[in-house]
């Protein structure tokens, strides 16, 4: 019996993706677990495995196709000797049909677990609200019809699962005239003939959307402190010197590894910073999960060090090396970069003296780390030379006030300047 191979949901928030390439051809024998295709999501390139044994009878979605909705048939699997259908078993339904298994929108951020998540209650999202704008879920066909008709999807109520907007909803709104026309964008500036226009990748589109939402909907404020690094650098040298030359116990600590641990220790001491905003509620995260910004060829990704406050410096160092390597190869699993309770962005290796980072929603804070440099400092009644870095925290003012952010930065500075707590 022919079986449809569907576009998988590779993350809790994925509604569509790009079928990057096929690794199997029509007629190839498939076994359960075989990698048959690569899918580009908003965060990484993921592999799709066969779950049934049989022949790849027909490919329905060509490689390079963007905007393929979750649960859309992308190929047909048949048994040996079986006739290959011309179309998927669900092809009588339009391609933009409502997916059956789109994950429900979480009432609170997906990273929250345990009682902290179950205790939060969320009011339904109403069309026309600012929150609705960030949660629009619509099929590719519905989006195209709305764009052509000048319909603002914020004002359209979806009839599909979890409020997904489909073709019927847009056509009904168009007929009734209930959806206000979307604002027309201003005319683009003239582009020089010599300029090269490169289409955005799926990841870059999501980065653009999320950072715009973060900067325009989250009230940021910033607190900066200068932190002396000499004691931390001395401890790092001593620990690295004590590391075995090779073997499973070998390690080589970076300054970033130690700052991840320092931030985690600080969050454990000041737990009111380990929170996020969730519709008139404050979500307190049970674990200290540090998202670390990592530059990759097409943008950035934030792999997570889970329970960083409970891990040794060696564990954090080895885990970060593995995460960074697989992040740049596009091999991270969704649970390795989705979630997190606090972020760190370190540009010290570029010689940056100071910068501010944009908050990574739904988190309430991100710490920007600049480079350490020799500066004159006052010690006692005299001047001395110390290695100093400027650290700046960006904070969501909806859930964190200035006094708390200042307290957090003060504790962070004391942890870094007296780093013994990082190893005990």
Average pLDDT, the chain: 83
What is the CATH number for 290? 3.30.559.10
**Sheet hosting strand 35-40, strand order edge to edge:** 45-49, 35-40, 16-22, 65-69
**pLDDT band, residue 13 (cuts 50/70/90):** low
What pLDDT, on a 0 to 100 scale, did the predictor assign at position 107? 36
pTM over 0.95: no
- Check residue 181 and give its pLDDT: 53
Residues 230 and 156 in one domain: no
| 266 and 367 belong to one structural domain | yes
pLDDT, residue 200, reads: 84
pLDDT the model gives residue 180: 53
Does residue 352 belong to any structural domain of this protein?
A: yes
Helix (H, G, I), strand (E, B) or coil at 182: coil
Do 396 and 321 belong together in one domain?
A: yes
Position 90 in a domain: no
Give dist(CA 254, CA 324) in Å, integer.
Answer: 13
**Of residues 145 and 6, which shows the higher confidence score?**
6
Helix (H, G, I), strand (E, B) or coil at 145: helix
Domains: count for the chain: 3
CATH code for position 27: 2.40.50.100
Q: Is residue 303 part of a domain?
A: yes
Residue 36, both tokens:
């048959």
Question: Residue 192 falls within a domain, yes or no?
Answer: no
Residues 133 and 244 in one domain: no
For residue 93, what pLDDT is reported?
34
**Amino acid 97: pLDDT:** 37
Domain boundary among 51, 78, 105: 78
In a shared domain, residues 147 and 270: no
Annotated active-site residue in 168, 220, 284, 397: 397
CATH at 122? 4.10.320.10
- Which residue, of 29, 63, 78, is where some domain finishes? 78
Q: Are 258 and 320 in contact (CB under 8 A)?
A: no
| 178 and 213 belong to one structural domain | no
pLDDT at 174: 80
Mean pLDDT, to the nearest integer, of 327-337? 88
Tell me: do 141 and 222 sit in the same domain.
no
* Together in a domain, 177 and 224: no
Same domain, 230 and 164: no
- With a CB cutoff of 8 Å and minimum separation 6, the contacts of 372 are 229, 233, 255, 348, 387, 388, 389
CB atoms within 10 A of CB 199: 7
- Whether 169 maps to a domain, the answer reads yes
Q: Which residues contact 237 (CB under 8 A, 6 or more apart)?
A: none
Q: What is the pLDDT of residue 117?
A: 33
DSSP sequence for 235-252? HHHHHHHHS-SSSTT---
Q: Does residue 89 form part of some domain? A: no
Q: What is the per-residue DSSP string for 78-92?
A: E-TTPPPPSS-TTTT
pLDDT digits (tens, 9 = 90+) for 228-263: 999 999 999 999 999 998 888 899 999 999 999 999
pLDDT, greater one: 119 or 335: 335
Whether residue 360 is contained in a domain is answered as yes
CB-CB contact of 252 with 243 (8 Å): yes
Judgement on whether residues 178 and 321 belong to the same structural domain of the protein: no
The average pLDDT across 262-266 equals 98
> pLDDT tens for residues 358-414?
999 999 999 999 999 999 999 989 999 999 999 999 999 999 999 999 999 999 999
Give tens-digit pLDDT for 42-70.
667 778 888 788 889 889 999 988 888 88
In a domain, 96, yes or no: no
CA 184/CA 29 separation, integer angstroms? 51
* Catalytic (active site) residue 168: no
| Same domain assignment for residues 314 and 170 | no
Domain match, 215 and 333 both: yes
Question: Exposure of 250 by Cβ count < 10 A (0-12 exposed, 13-18 middle, 19+ buried)?
Answer: exposed
Question: Could you tell me which residues are beta bridge partners of residue 284?
Answer: 275
Mean pLDDT of 109-120: 34
Domain that holds residue 27: 3-78
pLDDT at 15 over 90: no
- Higher pLDDT residue, 106 or 37? 37
């Amino acid at each position: 019996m022919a079986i449809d191979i569907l576009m998988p949901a590779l993350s809790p928030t994925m509604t569509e993706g790009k079928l990057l390439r096929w690794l199997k051809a029509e007629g190839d024998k498939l076994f359960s677990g075989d990698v048959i295709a690569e899918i580009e999501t908003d965060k990484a390139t993921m592999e799709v495995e066969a779950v049934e044994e049989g022949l790849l009878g027909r490919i329905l979605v060509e490689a390079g196709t963007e905007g393929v909705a979750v649960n859309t048939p992308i190929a047909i699997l048949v048994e040996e000797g079986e006739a290959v259908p011309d179309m998927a078993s669900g092809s009588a339904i339009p391609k933009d049909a409502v997916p059956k298994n789109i994950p429900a929108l979480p009432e609170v951020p997906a990273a929250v677990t345990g009682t902290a998540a179950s205790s939060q209650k969320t009011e339904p999202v109403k069309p026309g609200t600012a929150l609705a704008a960030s949660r629009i879920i619509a099929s590719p066909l519905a989006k195209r019809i709305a764009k052509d008709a000048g319909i603002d999807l914020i004002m359209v109520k979806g009839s599909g699962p979890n409020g997904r907007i489909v073709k019927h909803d847009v056509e009904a709104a168009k007929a009734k005239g209930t959806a206000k026309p979307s604002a027309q964008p201003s005319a683009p500036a003239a582009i020089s003939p010599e300029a090269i226009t490169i289409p955005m990748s799926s990841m870059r589109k999501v980065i653009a959307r999320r950072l715009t939402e973060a900067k325009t909907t989250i009230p940021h404020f910033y607190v900066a402190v200068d932190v002396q690094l000499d004691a931390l650098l001395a401890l790092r040298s001593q620990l690295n010197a004590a590391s075995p030359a090779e073997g499973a116990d070998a390690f080589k600590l970076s300054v970033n590894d130690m700052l991840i641990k320092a931030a985690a220790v600080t969050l454990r001491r000041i737990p009111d910073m380990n929170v996020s905003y969730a519709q008139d509620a404050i979500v307190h995260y049970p674990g200290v999960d540090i998202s670390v910004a990592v530059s990759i060829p097409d943008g950035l990704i934030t792999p997570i060090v889970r329970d960083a406050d409970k891990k040794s410096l060696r564990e954090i160092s080895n885990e970060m090396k593995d995460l960074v390597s697989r992040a740049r190869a596009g091999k991270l699993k969704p649970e390795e970069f989705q979630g997190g309770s606090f972020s760190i962005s370190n540009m010290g290796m570029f010689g940056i003296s100071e910068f501010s980072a944009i908050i990574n929603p739904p988190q309430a804070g991100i710490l920007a780390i600049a480079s350490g440099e020799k500066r004159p400092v006052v010690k006692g009644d005299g001047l001395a030379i110390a290695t100093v870095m400027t650290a700046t925290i960006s904070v969501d003012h909806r859930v964190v006030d200035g006094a708390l952010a200042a307290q957090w930065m003060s504790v962070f500075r004391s942890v870094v300047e007296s780093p013994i707590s990082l190893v005990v």
